[in-house]
Structure 1
Amino acid sequence: MARRLASTFAALAAIPLATHSASAEGYLAGKAEALPDLEIGLGDSGLEKKGGDYSIVTGKGYSLKIKSTGKHECAIVAPQFFANIYIRKVEINKVEVKLSGLHEIEMEEEGEAELYFVAIRPGEYTWACRGLEAKNLTGKFSIK
């Protein structure tokens, strides 16, 4: 039994643990950098936006204020982005919500929410107002 255990440990020790080293830019617990606001529901049609494309780096804290005019309901979906960030909190009407994951941010009426997060994994991640992609209510997060 002891020989079998020793040979198992020896075999495991021979396996490379990782081919890539993990690294993150910045200080994870630092003050969040405010990104330009994302404003949706603009214009006469309510189908225009301001902002929406962001370049950020891993390991740095960010805040993103999302504002809606309420002219069109918008359920912001970004499953790959939400899966590759650490969510510090979401603030809605001066109430902080601390959670471990996020599925969507649905804005049915006029209002705003602020997302505080740390980018974890590099990549290109899209977001969209579900059902309004053809109306250009989309954008992307480029994480380096």
Structure 2
Amino acid sequence: MNFAKTFVMGTLATVLTLSSLSSKAEGDLTTRPTKLPDLVLGTEDNRYQLSHKEYQLETGKAYKLKIVSSGQTEYAFQAPEFFASIFLRKLEAGDMEIKTMTVTELEFEQEAEAEIYFVPLQPGSFEFYAEGLEDKGMEGVFTIK
């Protein structure tokens, strides 16, 4: 193949690839993250109550989720498949901002809160729960479209 033909074919392949990728991308990461309703673990009346059992999310969109422990008991918040399917931008707890690639568990031993900033990358349904308290109703799902 001559240079001109090779150049044109390479350019065409690049344009098709980029247009295909951009048609799959959702969201605009240059905007502020969408604040989700706080996920509150326990209340004074019911230490095993969750404020929300389901969150509807979209791939490629930035979100902020505050998880609040009522301090009524110890809570070990886990969502292993969800954490593996997101891009974690940062985690804030207390006066700290933690930049990490992944989270395994958020353990609350007393009244406290943590905020996670993330972008869902993979569609699907992903369970979240307070470890050991699932049978008491402390479980829910992140649904990502």
Say yes or no: TM over 0.5: yes
1:30 shift after superposition: 2.5
For 2:117, the equivalent position in structure 1 comes to 116
* TM-score w.r.t. length of structure 2: 0.81
1:24 shift after superposition: 2.3
For 2:11, the equivalent position in structure 1 comes to none
Between structures 1 and 2, the one with greater strand share: 1
Give the secondary-structure state (helix, strand or coil) at the position aligned to 1:50.
coil
Instruction: In structure 1, list runs of 5 or more residues that go unmatched.
Output: 1-20
After TM superposition, the structure 1 = structure 2 runs for residues 1-144 of structure 1, keeping only pairs within 5 Å, are 23-144=24-145
For 1:11, the equivalent position in structure 2 comes to none
Is 1:26–1:58's contact at 8 Å kept on the other side of the alignment?
Answer: yes
Between structures 1 and 2, the one with greater helix share: 2
- Partners of 1:40 and 1:109 lie apart in 2 by 11
Is 1:30–1:60's contact at 8 Å kept on the other side of the alignment?
Answer: no
1:42 shift after superposition: 1.1
1:133 shift after superposition: 0.3
| Worse-matched range after superposition: 44-53 or 106-115 | 44-53
Give the secondary-structure state (helix, strand or coil) at the position aligned to 1:42.
coil
Give the 4+ runs in structure 1 shifted more than 3 A.
Answer: none
How many residues are matched?
A: 125
- Partners of 1:52 and 1:113 lie apart in 2 by 18
- Partners of 1:25 and 1:79 lie apart in 2 by 23
* TM-score w.r.t. length of structure 1: 0.82
Task: Give the letter aligned to residue 94 of structure 1.
Answer: D
Instruction: In structure 2, list runs of 5 or more residues that go unmatched.
Output: 1-19
Instruction: State the superposition RMSD in angstroms.
Output: 1.5
Q: How high is the sequence identity, in percent, across the aligned residues?
A: 44
